[in-house]
Structure 1
Amino acid sequence: MRLTEQQQAVVQHGQGHARVFAVAGAGKTSTMVARVLHLMAIGTPADRIMILMFNRAAREDFAARLRMLAPAGARLPQVRTFHSIGHRLGQSLMRWGALPARRLIEGEWQRERLARQVLQQLLVDEPAQLALALEEERIEALLQFCDLVKSECLPPARLHERGDYGADTEHFVPAFLEMERQMHEQGVMTYADLLYRPLRALIRDDRVRARIQGRLDHIIVDEYQDINEVQLRLLSMLAGDSASVMAVGDANQCIYEWRGARPDAMNARFSELFGTPADYPLSWTFRHGHAVSLMANHVIRANPGAADQLTLSAPDNPDTQVECDSGGTRLVNVLQSWQAQGRDLKECAVLVRSWSLSVPVQLRLLRENIPFQLGQQDRFVFRLPLVRALAGYLELTRRPELLQDSDHLLLLYSQPSAFVSQERLAPLTAELARTGRWPDQHIVLEGLRPFQRRHLKKRWALLQKLPSMRDQAPAYVLSHVVETLEAEKLLRRAAARRDKGEEDIRLLDVLIEQAGELADDPDAFIALLKDPVINQEQGVLLSTIHGAKGLEWPLVALAGLNEEDFPLYSRENPLTPQALEEERRLFYVGITRARERLLLLSDPPPHRLSRFVEEAAWEDSIKMARAIGSSQEGEPGVRDPSLVNRYLEGIGVENSLRVRAGQKTPAVLSQAGDWQPGEQVRHAVFGEGRIELVEGDRERCVLEVMFHRAGRRRLIASRAPIERVS
């Protein structure tokens, strides 16, 4: 096994705690295997070494590599995940009488059933809130909250106060407490308890803690930046005073804050738990070329707390080609060209920040007959209830007889949420389908609040009107549905977390935009939304960046690189400094998945290119990669000469190539003009429309325009391709 000097330094580390700062593609798994083999070679017993991996797949891969390289017949150390350690520790504590025995709830449906039972008890006198609380997404959010209480080691009230939870989630805290009480009575526990219960037992009892300590000399922890508080504390308990902890990871790739990870886990928090460690950099990446490394260095530098460590591309790496474009046509052309060169589509991945941003990509690939597969089939956007309902609203304009279909009406009453239980909606929609009239005195309406009755009746009026809109463009119909139902307000209220509400609203916008592209064939658009798509294993992979963590592909396209989409924010959900840093780390992870080719894709105007693309200095990075590859001499001009010169020194070419400060080109903004509500305008993409609202002035001027074909849009006046219609 050939190792770099930096990797050898890690392998040869002696006693004491250590941190290994490994950039993306730095060969950390090979380094950790070599470290374990070294410890065994110098006489450390295998049972005194433990390797902790982030998940089961990583554990199996590491164990296989270790078996392959270890001497034949050698006894090997244990390679585990935190949950497997927690399970084993819990079994020991139960045998010792330090923990009461409990049975693990393995089926998610069992947890959901328990949550529903508890909610029905807690909210029995609040039917509207109960109906909302029992919706599938809200149940999922409640269970995530329960897990986060245990992974963060926080009282539930404090977590709820600190977290970004939406309206109507006040029941989360009492629901957590009641679920805990019932699980105690039933003698059951969840996966989160595999770590949480042993930790609490160890904190309570010094004698039990002493019993589990002193058994290990070395603990190596992979993906350390992604472990949460309960894992950190349990690790500290296991290490005690005898074991040396080696933390291996990259704080710049901490992208799981929403489930308890913290970017300071490898920094201040490590020192709090283990004291001052020895630090080792793994700065050389063996994955991609200079352009991507320079982009990664530029973009992450904008995070105030980022480590001052550069990613350096090794000499034999691919010369990664980078380009930035707008719209889906370029993606199609690149994929078709890839195939024409004899390459496999399985080598390609399209990554997005959230699944809603994959909608334009999926529709474009479907229309072009390019096969694709989804990283998470259960997150297939077109199977989401909201998307199925929007397709159902459109379908009603083409097929009026669906007003007599109770199942179809139930779908349309379910999304966006009417905050009425399915048990009440089912008999109501059956009555509507049977009679075709609104039943003012129906028994189903008894007990509903006035606002619920008004909303249900208003939705029925909308459904009756839709068949008359057959000749309207799909985008206009969807905009009318969204406006009539005040869908954005409903989605924000229905979301357990504010960012989830914003993602759902963005999904509405994306579908309306896509409907505008297929305005001439509404039936085809409806069919695209309704027809299920089967994963094609030989196709392009579509995944979120979160799902792509730890993976790499020859060709990577990042799609949906629009400001307000990535980073995600809105006027109602502004961007905090902490959220911006996490979004930036997510972008950093996304671009560093590419080996040979990286394609950065935004959507056409009125969308604005994500700030992260500019922060990454992609044009300077391409320029410098070419200069390095051609052994060019001289002083090219770049935006950040200090960073680039440090990079040149890092790769050893500073004597032949230096850079200077380039001329900064100020952003020139066109004048917003004295726009007035009521004015008729023409947009280069959306056609003609009428201004309904004007906010701000000059470069901050935002127009709300109702377009005849594309529906309601919010535009930045100084950047939108619009003109007045005289």
Structure 2
Amino acid sequence: MKLTDEQRAVVDHPGGHARVAAVAGAGKTTTMAARVLRLLEQGVAPRRMLVLMFNRSAREDFQRRLAAMAPAGQALPDVRTFHSLGHRLTQSLCRWGALAPRQLLSAEWQLERLLRQASLNVLVDQQERREAALDGDRLETLAHFCGLVKAEMCSAESLFDRLDLDAESDYFPAAFHEAERLLEGEGAMTYADLLYRPLRALEADGALRERVEGFLDHVIIDEYQDINTAQQRLLKVLAGTRASIMAVGDANQCIYEWRGARPDTMLADFTATFGAATDYPLSTTFRHGHALALAANHAIMNNRRRPDQLCLAAAGNVDTCIHAGQGTRLLLETLTEWTAGGRAFDETCLLVRSWALSVPFQLALLQAGIPFRLAREDRFVFRLPLVQALAGYLKLARKPQLLHDPNHLLLLLAQPTPFIARERLVRLARHLATTQAFPERDDPLVAALKPVQRRTLKKRWELLCELPRLAAWPPAKLLQHVVTTIDAEKTLKHAAARRDKGEEDVRLLDVLIEQAQEAQDPDAFIELLERPVENQAQGVLISTVHGAKGLEWPLVAVAGVNEEDFPHYSRDNPLSDARLEEERRLFYVAITRVQERLLLLHDAGAHRPSRFIAESGWADSVRVAKALAEPSAPQVALAVTRPALIERYLWRLGREEIALRAETVNESRAGYATGAAFYPGQRLIHDVFGEGEVAAVEGNPADPVIDVRFVQAGRRRLIASRAPITSLDSVKPA
């Protein structure tokens, strides 16, 4: 087994605590397995070792790798996830009488039932709020809240004060305590309790803690940057004063802050918890080429909370191509070219910051007949209740007879939610379908409703009656009219328990209206939204970036890379420095999933391309990678925006003969690579829009406005001195 010098240093670590900072694709699984085998060679008993992996699939992969590398018949140490470790510890504490035995609620419906009951119990005197509390998204948010209380080992009240939850969720702390009472009464526990219950017992009883300490000499933990407070504290208890801890991870890939992880856990917190540690880098990636490695280094460089480490591409890695361009067109063209070259759709992945951003790409793939699959099947565009309702509004405009269909009326009355019990809406829909008239105020159907609820339903019914008269309107205009009339944006934000969920639903509205603007045939657009589609095993995978952590594909497209989408923020939810760094880490994870080809897709139009595209320095990275592929250095120094970073990279590779110079506003950043003015026909490259050709030059020659035809982004007018562009022509024609 051949190891790099950095990997060998980790394997030969002499003892004590260690931190291993491993970039994406650095071969950390092989390195960790080799470390285990080295400890076994040195006489460490397998039972005195513990390897902790982040999830079950990672554990199984590591066990396979370790068994394949180990000599035949070699006894191997325990490999566990934190939850399986907590389960074993809970069993021991139950045998000792320190914990009461409980049954694990292993199915999602069991936890949902528990939280429904807890919510109803604490809102027993607030009938209207009880209905809203049973909404699926709110129950999901409550489940996340309860799990986070236990992950962070804090009080429910202090956590609620800290989180960005809406005022309608103010019962969450009481619901947490009620859920705990129900769990105790039923003799049940959740997955979070597998760590929470034993840790509380151990921290409260010194004698009990002594019974579990001292059994380990070595603990190796993968993905350490993603562990939470409860996991770290439990690890501290188990390690005691004897065990050496080796934490393996990458603070730049810490993307689970919303569930208790912190980048500082891998940085300052480790030494604060365990003491002094030896630091080891695993800087070489075996996943992608120099262009992507350089782009990844550029992308993360603006973060303050990060390790001082470069990602280096290994010699012999496949070259990685990077392109930035506009939306669905570039994706479809690339996929066509990809399969024409004999490659398969299932070698490709489309990553999005949030599921709403996948909608235009789902529709484009449907129209193009390209198979695809979703990491979560409930996120197929036609299965989203809000999409079904908006398609239903369009359909009603084309088919007035649907005013007599109670099921169709129920769909439109219920989405977006009017905060009224479904049973009541069912009865009202039947009444409207039969009578075609909204009931009077004293009618039992609406008498018990608040005035604002009656007005909401009446306005919605009047809209439904109006729609057939608007059948000639274009789909986009009709949808905008519906959204405005029912005040959909305000309703969606009010209905969401989390601000980011409400904003994602509002973004979904925007996406659908934008897609409708391109529809020429209303009936065809309705059919597209209603088309029944199932996951295609051999199709393009669509996933969120969070869901892609730890995975890789030959071709990766990152979609919706726009300001306000990625990074995600809004006027009501501005970016803090900490949130911007988390978003940047998420972008870093997204682009480092690729092996051969990366597409950065923005929407253009009203959505400005994300700052992350320019920050990645992808155009500079591609040029430097091309220079590295040549047998001799370029005769002319390469103009780049961050020469210090690239010089450091070249020094690490031993390729210092490639000369660089900083771009200046008056030179290549303004297009003056040779000191000459712009001219029609000049070829340029833009950090966001890619390659293009100057079509016209207007205004002051010292600071002109240039009209550029970009290959992927179409025609753009740019102020030359402010545009992140570089000339590709070395000499101006006579």
Length-normalised TM-score, structure 2? 0.89
In structure 2, the partner of 1:260 is 260
CA distance in 2, matches of 1:149, 1:447: 38
CA distance in 2, matches of 1:124, 1:413: 26
CA distance in 1, matches of 2:268, 2:577: 19
Could you tell me whether the CA contact under 8 Å between 1:128 and 1:448 is conserved in 2? no
Could you tell me whether the CA contact under 8 Å between 2:122 and 2:175 is conserved in 1? yes
Displacement of 1:667: 8.7
Displacement of 1:573: 1.6
Could you tell me whether the CA contact under 8 Å between 1:54 and 1:222 is conserved in 2? yes
SS of the residue corresponding to residue 403 of structure 2 reads helix
Q: Give the % identical residues.
A: 58
Structure 2 letter corresponding to 1:637: A
Residues 65-105 of structure 1: CA deviation (Å, up to 9, x unaligned): 11111111111111100000000000100110111111111
Structure 2 letter corresponding to 1:199: L
Could you tell me whether the CA contact under 8 Å between 2:381 and 2:529 is conserved in 1? no
CA distance in 2, matches of 1:79, 1:107: 24
CA distance in 2, matches of 1:411, 1:141: 24
In structure 2, the partner of 1:651 is 653
Residues 447-480 of structure 1: CA deviation (Å, up to 9, x unaligned): 3221111111111111111111111111111111
Structure 2, unpaired ranges of 5+: 672-717, 721-734
SS of the residue corresponding to residue 445 of structure 2 reads helix
Paired positions, count: 670
In structure 2, the partner of 1:278 is 278
In structure 2, the partner of 1:372 is 372
Could you tell me whether the CA contact under 8 Å between 1:558 and 1:600 is conserved in 2? yes
Could you tell me whether the CA contact under 8 Å between 1:355 and 1:381 is conserved in 2? no
In structure 2, the partner of 1:13 is 13
Backbone CA RMSD of aligned residues = 1.7
In structure 2, the partner of 1:114 is 114
Structure 1 letter corresponding to 2:571: R
CA distance in 1, matches of 2:36, 2:222: 13
In structure 1, the partner of 2:490 is 489
Could you tell me whether the CA contact under 8 Å between 1:353 and 1:545 is conserved in 2? yes
In structure 1, the partner of 2:642 is 640
CA distance in 2, matches of 1:718, 1:101: 70
Matched, 1:30 2:30: yes
In structure 2, the partner of 1:703 is none
SS of the residue corresponding to residue 343 of structure 1 reads coil
CA distance in 2, matches of 1:198, 1:17: 25
CA distance in 2, matches of 1:443, 1:291: 68
In structure 2, the partner of 1:222 is 222
CA distance in 1, matches of 2:173, 2:306: 34
SS of the residue corresponding to residue 164 of structure 1 reads coil
Displacement of 1:120: 2.1
Could you tell me whether the CA contact under 8 Å between 1:545 and 1:589 is conserved in 2? yes
In structure 2, the partner of 1:566 is 566
Structure 1 letter corresponding to 2:533: V
In structure 1, the partner of 2:54 is 54
Could you tell me whether the CA contact under 8 Å between 1:252 and 1:306 is conserved in 2? yes
Could you tell me whether the CA contact under 8 Å between 1:167 and 1:493 is conserved in 2? no
Residues 577-607 of structure 1: CA deviation (Å, up to 9, x unaligned): 1111111001001111111111111113122
Residues 88-144 of structure 1: CA deviation (Å, up to 9, x unaligned): 000100110111111111121122112222222222332332222111111111111
In structure 2, the partner of 1:462 is 463
SS of the residue corresponding to residue 467 of structure 2 reads helix
In structure 2, the partner of 1:289 is 289
**Where has structure 1 moved over 4 Å in runs of 4 or more?**
665-668
CA distance in 2, matches of 1:129, 1:458: 22
Structure 2 letter corresponding to 1:463: L
Displacement of 1:34: 0.4
In structure 2, the partner of 1:413 is 413
Structure 2 letter corresponding to 1:446: A
CA distance in 2, matches of 1:475, 1:167: 33
Displacement of 1:443: 1.5
Displacement of 1:167: 3.1
In structure 2, the partner of 1:449 is 450
Could you tell me whether the CA contact under 8 Å between 1:296 and 1:588 is conserved in 2? yes
Displacement of 1:39: 0.6
Could you tell me whether the CA contact under 8 Å between 2:101 and 2:187 is conserved in 1? yes
Displacement of 1:718: 11
Displacement of 1:209: 0.7
CA distance in 2, matches of 1:295, 1:64: 33
CA distance in 1, matches of 2:354, 2:317: 30
In structure 1, the partner of 2:231 is 231
CA distance in 1, matches of 2:297, 2:719: 31
CA distance in 1, matches of 2:508, 2:719: 25
Map 1:322-341 to 2 at 5 A.
322-341=322-341
Displacement of 1:632: 2.1
Could you tell me whether the CA contact under 8 Å between 1:219 and 1:244 is conserved in 2? yes
In structure 1, the partner of 2:434 is 434
Structure 1 letter corresponding to 2:501: K
Displacement of 1:345: 1.1
SS of the residue corresponding to residue 281 of structure 1 reads strand
In structure 2, the partner of 1:575 is 575
Structure 2 letter corresponding to 1:369: G
CA distance in 1, matches of 2:545, 2:427: 42
Worse-superposed segment, 121-130 or 257-266: 121-130
In structure 2, the partner of 1:711 is none
Length-normalised TM-score, structure 1? 0.90
Residues 633-685 of structure 1: CA deviation (Å, up to 9, x unaligned): 4521111111110111111111x1131211237799xxxxxxxxxxxxxxxxx
In structure 1, the partner of 2:522 is 522
Structure 1, unpaired ranges of 5+: 669-716, 720-726
In structure 2, the partner of 1:478 is 479
Residues 259-283 of structure 1: CA deviation (Å, up to 9, x unaligned): 1111111111111110111000000
